[in-house]
C-alpha cells in the first residue's frame, strides 16, 4: 500500500474547525493582553477565550471516548494545534498544559483513577485546569538523577493512609487555576524517600488543587507566551490519600518520559504554527511594500530565494511532526521521532522567524509587525518542556546507546 499524506474528510473537518476558531476567537488575544502589565492578569484575561475553546470541544479532544472525551488521535490533535498556534500561542498552550497534567493519569492511572480525574475535568472543562508539577526551583533537567539527594527535591512521606508532600515547583503551567488559588488538580513529581535513587523513589501523585497547604507564591514573567501562567507553587504538608499515587515509587522516570514525549510531538505542531505566521507576515510584506524603491520587495531574487528556504523548512517540520504523531498513535512507547521533532522543529522555528525578520527589516523589531512577538514566543520552544540541551539530546543519546538500537526502525515504522 502506498504512503498517503492526504487528510481524511474527518481530519479536514478538524483542521477547518480549528482554523475558523483561531480566526474568530484567538485573533483577539494579542490586543486583549497588550495593556496588562502583570503575567497573572494577562492569563486571567484569556479565560473567556479558553471557555469558548472548551465549548468548541477542544478540551474533550484530549481524552479517550471511554472516559467522556472525543478521542482525537495525537496526529489529529496536532492538526488542530497547528491551526490554533498559527494565530495565538497563549490559549492553546493553556490547553496543552491541561493535557500535559492529565497525560500521566491517562498513561499510567488505574481505571478508577482515569474515570475519576478525567470525569472531574470534563464536568467543567471551561473552568477546571490540570497542571504537571515537575520542574523544581533548582531546575528540571536532572529530575531523574539517580544519586540520593540530587534531582527532584519535593518529598512525599507516607503517614498511614496518606502521602504528605513538601516541596517547591516553578514553571508549573496552569498551576494557579483561573482564580489564582490553584489548578483543579496537579500531577506532582516527587521523591518518596530522599535516601533512595530515582529508580526506587521517584513517583507521581495526583493532588487535588483545593487541598490545604498548596500555595501560589508568585508568577514568572516571560518575554514570550505572555498570557501563559507560569506560577511558583509551594506544597506545604499537603496531605492526599495514599491511593492517589500513580503506579508505585520508582515508576515516575518512565511516566515523565512518556508524558513529555506526547508534548514533544505537539510542540512540533506549535512550532509549525508560529513559523507559518511568520512566513505569511513576511510574504505579505514583500508583496505589498517597495521600501522606497521602484519594485515590490518580492521581485528581488534574494528575497524570493529566502522565502523559498522558509517554506521548505516549514514543510519539513510539518511532515516530521505528522510522522512522529503517527508513531506515537501506533506505539506510545516509541518516542524517538517525537523527541527529534521537538528538537528539530523548535530550533528551526527560531531560525525561520529570524529570517522572516531579516526580510522585513527594522520594522519587524517594533509593534509595526507581529514578528518581534513571534520571536519571543519561538525562543521558548527549545528551552521548555525538557530543554533541548539539558534533556532532549540526552534522551536521544541514551536511545542510541541502547543495545540492539536500529537506526532505521523509526523511519520504517518497526
Q: Report the CATH number that the domain containing residue 36 is assigned in CATH.
A: 1.10.540.10
Last residue of a domain, one of 221, 249, 277: 249
Same domain, residue pair 261 and 374: yes
Q: Annotated catalytic, 385?
A: yes
| Distance (Å, whole) CA 128 – CA 376 | 28
Q: Which three three-digit cell numbers place residue 397?
A: 543519546
Number of domains in the chain: 3
Q: Is residue 115 part of a domain?
A: yes
| Distance (Å, whole) CA 29 – CA 39 | 14
pLDDT at 1: 47
- Residue 35: other Cβ atoms inside 10 A: 9
Last residue of a domain, one of 184, 214, 249: 249
Nearest to 223 by CA among 380, 62, 412, 27: 380
Domain span holding position 201 = 130-249
End-to-end CA distance of the chain: 16
Q: Is residue 296 part of a domain?
A: yes
Same domain, residue pair 258 and 395: yes
Whether the CB-CB separation of 51 and 94 falls below 8 Å is answered with no
Same domain, residue pair 178 and 155: yes
Same domain, residue pair 245 and 258: no
Q: Is residue 397 part of a domain?
A: yes
Same domain, residue pair 263 and 192: no
Q: Is residue 1 part of a domain?
A: no
Last residue of a domain, one of 123, 149, 178: 123
Same domain, residue pair 323 and 391: yes
Same domain, residue pair 291 and 397: yes
Out of 88, 331, 385, 406, which one is annotated catalytic?
385
- DSSP sequence for 218-265: EE---SSSTTS--EEEEEEEEEEEGGGEES-TT-HHHHHHHHHHHHHH
Query: The domain that contains 190 carries what CATH number?
Result: 2.40.110.10
Nearest to 354 by CA among 377, 381, 342, 372: 372
Whether the CB-CB separation of 239 and 211 falls below 8 Å is answered with yes
Same domain, residue pair 117 and 138: no
Using alpha carbons only, what angle is made at residue 13 by residues 8 and 18, rounded to the nearest 5 degrees?
130
Nearest to 324 by CA among 8, 57, 7, 77: 77
Tell me the whole-structure pTM to 2 decimals.
Answer: 0.94
Pair type for strands 231-241 and 245-246: unpaired
From first to last of its 414 residues, the chain has per-residue pLDDT tens of 456 788 999 999 999 999 999 999 999 999 999 999 999 999 999 999 999 999 999 999 999 999 999 999 999 999 999 999 999 999 999 999 999 999 999 999 999 999 999 999 999 999 999 999 999 988 888 888 888 778 899 999 999 999 999 999 999 999 999 999 999 999 999 999 988 888 899 999 999 999 999 999 999 999 999 999 999 999 999 999 999 999 999 999 999 988 988 999 999 999 999 999 999 999 999 999 888 888 998 999 999 999 999 999 999 999 999 999 999 998 888 899 999 999 999 999 999 999 999 999 999 999 899 999 999 999 999 999 888 998 899 999 999 999 999 999 888 887
| Distance (Å, whole) CA 355 – CA 349 | 10
Query: The domain that contains 341 carries what CATH number?
Result: 1.20.140.10
pLDDT at 2: 56
Amino acid at each position: 500500500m502506498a504512503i498517503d499524506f492526504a487528510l481524511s474528510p474527518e481530519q479536514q473537518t478538524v483542521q477547518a474547525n480549528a482554523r475558523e476558531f483561531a480566526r474568530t476567537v484567538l485573533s483577539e488575544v494579542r490586543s486583549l493582553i497588550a495593556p496588562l502589565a502583570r503575567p497573572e492578569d494577562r492569563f486571567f484575561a484569556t479565560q473567556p477565550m479558553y471557555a469558548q475553546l472548551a465549548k468548541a470541544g477542544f478540551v474533550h479532544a484530549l481524552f479517550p471516548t471511554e472516559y467522556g472525551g472525543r478521542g482525537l488521535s495525537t496526529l489529529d490533535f496536532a492538526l488542530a494545534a497547528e491551526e490554533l498556534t498559527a494565530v495565538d500561542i497563549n490559549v492553546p498552550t493553556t490547553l496543552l498544559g491541561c493535557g500535559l497534567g492529565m497525560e500521566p493519569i491517562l498513561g499510567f492511572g488505574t481505571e478508577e483513577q482515569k474515570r475519576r480525574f478525567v470525569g472531574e475535568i470534563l464536568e467543567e472543562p471551561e473552568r477546571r485546569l490540570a497542571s504537571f508539577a515537575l520542574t523544581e526551583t533548582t531546575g528540571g533537567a536532572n529530575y531523574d538523577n539517580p544519586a540520593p539527594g540530587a534531582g527532584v527535591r519535593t518529598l512525599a512521606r507516607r503517614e498511614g493512609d496518606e502521602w504528605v508532600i513538601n516541596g517547591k515547583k516553578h514553571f508549573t503551567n496552569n498551576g494557579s487555576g483561573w482564580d489564582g488559588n490553584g489548578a483543579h488538580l496537579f500531577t506532582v513529581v516527587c521523591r518518596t524517600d530522599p535516601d533512595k535513587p530515582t529508580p526506587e523513589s521517584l513517583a507521581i501523585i495526583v493532588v487535588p488543587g483545593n487541598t490545604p497547604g498548596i500555595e501560589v507564591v508568585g508568577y514568572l514573567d516571560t518575554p514570550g507566551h505572555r498570557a501563559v501562567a507560569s506560577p511558583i507553587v509551594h506544597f506545604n504538608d499537603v496531605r492526599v490519600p495514599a491511593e492517589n499515587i500513580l503506579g508505585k515509587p520508582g515508576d515516575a522516570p518512565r511516566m515523565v518520559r512518556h508524558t513529555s514525549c506526547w508534548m514533544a510531538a505537539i510542540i512540533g505542531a506549535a512550532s509549525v504554527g508560529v513559523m507559518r505566521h511568520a512566513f505569511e507576515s513576511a510574504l505579505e510584506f514583500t508583496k505589498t511594500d517597495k521600501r522606497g524603491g521602484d519594485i515590490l520587495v518580492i521581485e528581488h531574487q534574494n528575497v524570493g530565494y529566502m522565502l523559498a528556504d522558509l517554506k521548505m523548512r516549514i514543510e519539513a517540520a510539518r511532515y516530521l511532526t505528522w510522522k512522529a504523531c503517527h508513531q506515537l498513535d501506533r506505539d506510545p512507547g516509541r518516542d524517538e521521532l517525537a523527541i527529534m521533532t521537538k528538537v528539530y522543529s523548535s530550533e528551526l522555528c527560531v531560525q525561520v522567524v529570524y529570517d522572516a525578520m531579516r526580510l522585513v527589516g527594522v520594522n519587524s523589531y517594533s509593534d509595526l509587525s507581529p514578528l518581534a512577538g513571534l520571536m519571543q514566543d519561538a525562543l521558548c520552544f527549545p528551552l521548555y518542556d525538557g530543554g533541548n540541551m539539558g534533556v532532549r539530546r540526552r534522551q536521544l543519546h541514551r536511545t542510541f546507546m541502547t543495545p540492539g538500537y536500529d537506526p532505521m526502525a523509526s523511519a520504517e515504522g518497526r
